[in-house]
A and B are shown apart, each in its own frame.
Chain A
Amino acid sequence: MNRLSDFMLPDARSTFAGDVDALFNFINVVSLILLIGITIAIIYFAYKYRRKSEDETTPLITHNSKLEITWSVIPLILVIIVFGWGYNGYLNLTTAPDDAYEIRVVGKSWLWEFHYDTGFVSVNELHVPANQPVKLILSSDDVIHSLFIPEFRVKMDALPNRYTSLWFEATEPGEMTIYCTEYCGSAHSNMLADLYVHSQEDFQTWLETADAVDETLSPAELGQQLVQRQGCLACHSLDGSTLQGPSFEGIFGRDRELQDGSVVTIDENYLRQSIIEPNTQVAAGFPAIMPSYAGSLDDRQIDAIIEYLKTLD
Chain B
Amino acid sequence: MATSESTNIKKIQVRRFKPDENPTSNYLTEERGLWAWMTTVDHKKIGWMYLGSIAIFFAVGGILALLLRTELLTPAQTFFTADAYNQLFTLHGAIMVFFFLVPSVPAALGNFILPLQLGCKDVAFPRVNLLSFYIYVVGALFTLFAIFTGGVDTGWTFYTPYSSSAAGGNVMAMTFGVFILGFSSILTGLNFIVTIHRMRAPGLTWNKLPLFLWALYATSIIQILATPVLAITLLLLTMERLLSIGIFDPALGGDPVLYQHFFWFYSHPAVYIMIVPGFGIISEIISTFSRKHIFGYWAIALSSLAIAFIGFLVWGHHMFVAGQSSLANLVFSFLTFLVGIPTGIKIFNWIATMYKGSIDLKTPMLYVMVFLFLFTIGGFTGIMLGALAVDIHLHDTYYVVAHFHYVMVGGMVMAFLGGLHYWWPKMTGKMYNEMWGRISCAIVFIGFNLTFLPQFVMGSLGMPRRYFNYLEQFQGYHVMSTYGSYILGLGFLMVLIYLTHSIFKGKKAPANPWQSRAMEWQAPSPPPLHNFEHTPVIIHGPYDYHKPMSEFQLGIAGSHNGHGHHEHETETKTVEADK
Per-residue CB proximity of A171-200 to B under 8 Å, as 1/0?
000000101111111111110000000000
Within A100-157, the residues touching B (CB, 8 Å) are: 142-144, 146, 148, 150-151, 153-157
Tell whether, in the assembled complex, residue A58 and residue B354 are in contact, meaning their CB atoms are under 8 Å apart: no
B297 near A62 with CB under 8 A, answer: yes
- B82 contacts across to A, CB distance below 8 A: 186-187, 189
One digit per residue, 1 when the CB lies within 8 angstroms of any chain A CB and 0 when it does not, for chain B 300-328 equals: 00000000000000000000011100100
Contacts A45-B354, A51-B358, A61-B356; A144 near B293 (Cβ below 8 A): no
Please pick, from A16, A58, A179, the residue contacting B292 in the complex, using a CB distance under 8 A: A58
Complex CA distance for A267 and B335, rounded to whole angstroms: 60
B295 pairs with A63, CB closer than 8 A:
yes
Interchain CB contact under 8 A, B545 and A58: yes
A210 within 8 A of B: no
Which among A10, A76, A79, A189 is the interface contact of B469 at CB below 8 angstroms?
A: A189
- Whether A181 contacts B396 by the Cβ 8 Å rule is yes
Asked if A34 contacts B546 (CB within 8 A), the reply is no
Q: Collect the chain B residues with CB atoms within 8 Å of residue A46's CB.
A: 354, 359, 361, 369
Interface string of B521-546 (1 = CB under 8 A from A): 00000000000000000000000011
A30 to B86: give the CA distance in the assembly, Å.
37
Q: Which of B35-43, B95-103, B265-273, B336-344 contacts A (4 or more CB under 8 A)?
A: B336-344
Across the interface, do B548 and A160 meet the contact criterion of CB distance under 8 Å?
Answer: no
Stretch of B104-112, B458-466, B566-574 that contacts chain A:
B458-466
The interface stretch among A85-93, A223-231, A295-303, A305-313 is A85-93
Q: In this assembly, does B194 line the interface, its C-beta being within 8 Å of a C-beta of chain A?
A: no
> Is B17 part of the contact surface with A, judged by Cβ < 8 Å?
no
Please state if A189 and B321 are interface contacts (CB–CB under 8 Å).
Answer: no
Residue pair A75, B326 in contact (C-beta under 8 Å): no
Q: Does B425 contact A (CB under 8 A)?
A: no
Knowing A23-B390, A287-B167, say if A45 contacts B397 (CB, 8 Å): no
A198 vs chain B, min Cβ distance (A): 22
B546 touches A144 (CB 8 A): no
Residue in B299, B393, B470 whose CB lies within 8 Å of A153: B393
- A189 with B467: CB separation less than 8 A: yes
Contact residues of B: prevailing secondary structure:
helix
**Quick check: B392 and A180 within 8 Å, CB to CB?**
no
B393 touches A27 (CB 8 A): no
List chain B residues, Cβ under 8 A from A54: 515
> Cβ of B321 and Cβ of A146 under 8 Å apart?
yes
A57 interface contact, C-beta 8 A:
yes
The CB with the most chain B CB atoms within 10 A, among A19, A71, A76, A288, is that of A71
A42→B372 contact, CB < 8 A: yes
- Chain A 42-64, CB-CB to B under 8 Å as 1, else 0, gives 10011001111011111111111
Known: A23-B389, A52-B358, A143-B161. A182 touches B396 (CB 8 A): yes
- Our pick among A27, A59, A183 for the contact of B466 (Cβ within 8 Å) is A183
A254 within 8 A of partner (CB)? no
Binds A, one of B373-381, B487-495, B557-565: B373-381
Whether A79 and B383, one on each chain, are in contact in the complex, defined by CB atoms closer than 8 angstroms, is: yes
Shortest distance between the CB of A91 and any CB in chain B (Å): 7
- Is A148 a contact partner of B323 (Cβ separation < 8 A)? no
Whether A156 pairs with B348 at a CB distance below 8 angstroms is: no
A9 and B337 form a contact (CB under 8 A): no
CA distance A49 to B298 in the complex (A): 24
Contact across chains for A58 and B357 when beta carbons are under 8 A apart: yes
Whether A72 contacts B161 by the Cβ 8 Å rule is: no
State whether the Cβ of B330 lies closer than 8 Å to any Cβ in chain A.
yes
Whether, in the assembled complex, A31 has its beta carbon less than 8 Å from a beta carbon of chain B, the answer is yes
Contact status of A157 and B388, CB under 8 A, knowing A51-B360, A94-B326: no
Q: Which residues of A contact B322 (CB under 8 A)?
A: 144, 157, 159
Find A49's partner among B359, B456, B467 (CB 8 Å cutoff): B359
Chain A stretch 240-270: residues in CB contact (< 8 A) with chain B = none
- B77-106: CB near A (< 8 Å → 1, else 0) gives 000001100100000000000000000000
Q: A215 near B: Cβ within 8 Å? A: no
- A299 to B: closest C-beta gap in Å: 29
In the assembled complex, the Cα of A181 lies from the Cα of B338 at a distance in Å of 28
Chain B contacts to A: CB under 8 angstroms? 82-83, 86, 153-155, 159, 161-162, 165-167, 250-251, 255-257, 290-293, 295-299, 321-323, 326, 329-330, 333-334, 337-338, 340-341, 344-345, 347-349, 351-352, 354-361, 369, 372-373, 376-377, 380-381, 383-384, 386-393, 395-397, 456-457, 460-462, 464-471, 515, 545-549
Complex A-B: 25 CB contacts under 8 Å = A8-B461, A10-B461, A10-B462, A24-B393, A24-B460, A38-B351, A46-B361, A46-B369, A49-B357, A51-B360, A55-B549, A60-B293, A63-B299, A67-B348, A68-B348, A85-B387, A86-B390, A90-B329, A153-B392, A155-B321, A157-B322, A177-B471, A179-B464, A188-B466, A189-B466
